[in-house]
């Protein structure tokens, strides 16, 4: 009896997904738009490795000699097992963002011109629980300014994000850049009677409070109040330990959250009154006032950039202004519920990240566009628009296999003219070849047999025209007369005609 062949099951590791042409093509156009605007603002490209030493990433628990949860890590294969486990080169990890590698680059290259303005596109990996629309591997597009203390750099992060979103088709009113300052928040916590406040310590009592504030939009004011106190039990029955603040402390923090206003100046006035007894709190308010002034000078009003005291940002290395870009346009989710799309951009100032390496304070600020989140938002924005699914612009059908040399020479002629093209390499009738082109979304098809080659002419079939008009015109003969979906073209006019027909489709 023949032994049964054991075959692997085709499957993806959880939190990882395959991406097909429709999303890849749209993402490529989106990234090119972002790149152009970044360079318009004076940012230059940088690439860093996917793998870093774990201690350079800053996610390490020395007392346990193992990487902290949240990153994909593995032992350095270049080191022997005899090497001590606490050797700094022992653990390697996949980068979890693009900012930590940037800090390493700046520390490693002290002669870089300052300010150093760079942008970077890259995949990042996070070992965390995946969920709907939340993956363990995703793209980020970062832009950062290192070596600038001026709040102009922070204001430009907000302004550039507005320009990016509008260039991608989002209109004012469909998005909002929200800004806060963690120094002002730290000042509020000090005024609440919390001594030795460290807003960068995520494991502290204050860290619990910051995470609670960050959940305001999801759990509401009552939920945040519970988390600032003893704790909160959610709908599933799970209990989350709170910050255990007293009533007076909670009231001060809630007053801070209530400083919201459509006017940036009014937010600053309310915060200033609240943190008047805190030196660092007043510094934060002054930074916000400077950002407001620079944004006003640049022409970005509160309809695009608003001050929002509830913005905290999850990463602990932020030290001053923090930003979050949200799509405010309502969408209908997969469950049929109407909701806001949410955040597609985040960032802030991190003046101590490079200091981990050098011991010297190095000011830095910047932002990160969540490419996959923004891509999903763009797909919703273009829900009624047919998105491209392939890069081929012209398919050359094969009607007579004895003339393959002629087909290949024709193919080379079309490609040499800069037109993305392919010759049909499968098997099947002309009908099946047209079905292939239609299914792929190829706009134009060249049909040629022996008679066409001998007569020096070709048939061009415009499939995209049919796709665009068939839904609007019930009488097929009517639109065929207005603009024929198939026409005969002389060989010496072929390239000109193809470019003419493609011009409209390429602009979409």
| 289-302 pLDDT, tens digit each | 999 999 999 999 99
Instruction: Give dist(CA 304, CA 159) in Å, integer.
Output: 9
Report residue 461 CA to chain centroid gap. 38
Is it the case that residue 303 has pLDDT exceeding 80?
A: yes
Q: What percent of the chain has pLDDT over 70?
A: 88
Position 61 confidence tier, pLDDT thresholds 50, 70, 90: very low
pLDDT at 197 over 70: no
What is the model's pLDDT at position 384? 55
Confidence at residue 245, expressed as pLDDT on a 0 to 100 scale = 85
pLDDT, tens only, 370-388: 999 899 888 877 755 556 6
Does the domain formed by 394-506 have CATH 3.40.50.800? yes
Sign for the CA dihedral angle at 239, 241, 243, 247 comes to positive
Burial class (CB in 10 A: 0-12, 13-18, 19+), 256: buried
pLDDT attached to residue 85: 65
- Taking the model in full, what pTM does it have? 0.84
pLDDT number for residue 63: 41
Indicate whether 60 pLDDT > 50.
no
Indicate the average pLDDT of the chain.
Answer: 87
pLDDT in tens, 424-439: 999 999 999 999 999 8
317-346: pLDDT as tens digits: 789 999 999 998 877 666 667 777 888 999
- Say yes or no to pLDDT of 66 above 90: no
For the stretch 208-251, pLDDT in tens is: 777 777 777 778 888 888 888 888 888 787 888 888 888 888 88
The more confident residue out of 458 and 238 is 458
And the tokens for 348?
Answer: 């802030």
How many Cβ atoms are within 10 Å of 294's Cβ, its own excluded? 19
Which CATH superfamily does the domain covering 21-50+95-381 fall into? Bira Bifunctional Protein; Domain 2 (3.30.930.10)
Grouping H, G, I as helix, E, B as strand and the rest as coil, residue 434 is: helix
Q: What does the alpha-carbon distance between residue 137 and residue 391 come to, in Å, rounded to a whole number?
A: 25
Q: Where are the domains positioned within the chain?
A: 21-50+95-381, 51-94, 394-506
Beta bridge partners of residue 25, listed in sequence order: none
Domain 21-50+95-381 shares a fold with domain 394-506: no
Q: Is 49 helix (H, G, I), strand (E, B) or coil?
A: coil
SS3 211: helix
Higher pLDDT, 107 or 69: 107
At residue 62, the pLDDT reads: 41
What is the rounded CA–CA span in Å between residue 18 and residue 246? 49
pLDDT in the model for residue 293: 98
Cα–Cα distances (Å) from 111 to 106, 107, 115, 147, 207, in that order, read 9, 9, 11, 12, 36
| Euclidean distance between CA atoms 486 and 467, whole angstroms | 14
CB atoms within 10 A of CB 208: 19
Specify whether the CB–CB gap between 335 and 106 falls below 8 A. no
């Amino acid at each position: 009896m023949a032994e049964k062949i054991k075959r692997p099951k085709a499957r993806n590791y959880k939190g990882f997904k395959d991406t097909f042409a429709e999303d890849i093509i749209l993402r490529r156009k989106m990234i090119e738009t972002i790149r152009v605007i970044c360079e318009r603002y004076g940012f230059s490209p940088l690439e860093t490795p996917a793998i870093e030493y774990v201690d350079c990433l800053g996610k390490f628990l020395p007392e346990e000699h193992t990487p902290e949860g949240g990153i994909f890590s593995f032992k350095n294969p270049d080191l022997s097992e005899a090497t001590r486990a606490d050797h700094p080169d022992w653990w390697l990890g996949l980068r979890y963002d693009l900012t930590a590698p940037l800090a390493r680059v700046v520390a490693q290259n002290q002669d870089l011109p300052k300010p150093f303005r760079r942008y970077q596109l890259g995949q990042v990996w996070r070992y965390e629980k995946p969920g709907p629309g939340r993956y363990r591997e995703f793209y980020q597009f970062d832009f950062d300014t290192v070596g600038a203390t001026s709040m102009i750099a922070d204001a430009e992060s907000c302004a550039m994000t507005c320009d990016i979103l509008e260039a991608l088709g989002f209109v004012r009113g469909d998005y909002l850049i929200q800004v806060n300052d963690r120094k002002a928040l730290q000042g509020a916590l000090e005024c609440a009677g919390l001594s030795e406040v460290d807003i960068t310590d995520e494991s502290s009592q204050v860290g619990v409070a910051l995470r609670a504030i960050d959940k305001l939009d999801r759990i509401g004011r009552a939920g945040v109040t519970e988390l600032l106190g003893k704790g909160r039990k959610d709908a599933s029955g799970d209990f989350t330990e709170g910050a255990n603040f007293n009533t007076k402390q909670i009231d001060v923090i809630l007053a801070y959250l209530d400083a919201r206003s459509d006017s940036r100046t009014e937010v600053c006035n309310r915060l200033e009154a609240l943190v008047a007894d805190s030196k660092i709190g007043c510094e934060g308010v002054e930074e916000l006032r400077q950002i407001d002034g620079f944004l006003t000078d640049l022409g970005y009003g509160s309809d695009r950039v608003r001050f929002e005291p509830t913005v905290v940002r999850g990463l602990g290395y932020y030290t001053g202004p923090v930003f979050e870009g949200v799509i405010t346009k309502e969408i209908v989710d997969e469950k049929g519920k109407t909701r806001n799309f949410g955040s597609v951009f985040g960032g802030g100032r991190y003046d101590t990240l490079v200091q981990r390496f050098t011991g010297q304070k190095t000011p830095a600020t910047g932002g990160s566009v969540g490419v996959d989140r923004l891509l999903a938002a763009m797909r919703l924005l273009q829900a009624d628009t047919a998105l491209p699914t392939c890069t081929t612009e012209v398919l050359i059908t094969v009607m007579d296999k004895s003339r393959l040399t002629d087909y290949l020479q024709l193919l080379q002629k079309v490609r040499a003219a800069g037109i993305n093209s392919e010759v049909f390499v499968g098997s099947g009738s002309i009908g099946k070849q047209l079905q292939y082109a239609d299914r792929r979304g190829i706009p134009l098809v060249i049909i040629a047999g022996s008679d066409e080659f001998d007569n020096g002419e070709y048939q061009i079939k415009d499939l995209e025209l049919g796709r665009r008009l068939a839904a609007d015109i019930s009488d097929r003969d009517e639109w065929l007369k207005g603009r024929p979906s198939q026409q005969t073209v002389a060989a010496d006019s072929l390239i000109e005609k193809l470019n003419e027909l493609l011009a409209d489709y390429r602009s979409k």
